Amino acid sequence: MGADLQKAVVLLVSVLVPVHVLYASWQILQGGRVSESRTYFPPLLEEFQPIEARLDALVQDVLHTARLSNDVLFTPVPDVQVGHVDLGQARLVDCLFSDDRW
């Protein structure tokens, strides 16, 4: 059986504050298992940008959330241990959203 390539634009909305983040990912499945994966935060690859723009406009209009910049998302939160992220390694993106990103 050949490899299966899966691509996605992912939306995360915080339940703590009215903010969201969009990112893109792709993974290669071989035999039902992920053999390779990549995650892209903005600026996204050109192939993902039309979906990113539509999804961003929709979530802002419907949920009235603000999109967080990469500078804010990746701010270190040193005194916190979150899910699968070790103490001292957490970033704001891990605290506001799931640390299980795909």
As averages over each run of 10 residues, the pLDDT of the chain (102 residues) reads: 86 94 94 91 96 97 96 94 87 82 58
Q: What is the pLDDT of residue 11?
A: 94
Q: What is the pLDDT of residue 1?
A: 57
Q: What is the pLDDT of residue 20?
A: 97
Gap between the Cα atoms of 86 and 75, Å rounded: 15
* Contact between residue 67 and residue 21 where contact means Cβ atoms under 8 Å apart: yes
What is the model's pTM?
0.84
Structure tokens at 79: 């005194």
Which DSSP state fits 46? G
Which residue do the tokens 């299966």 mark?
A: 4
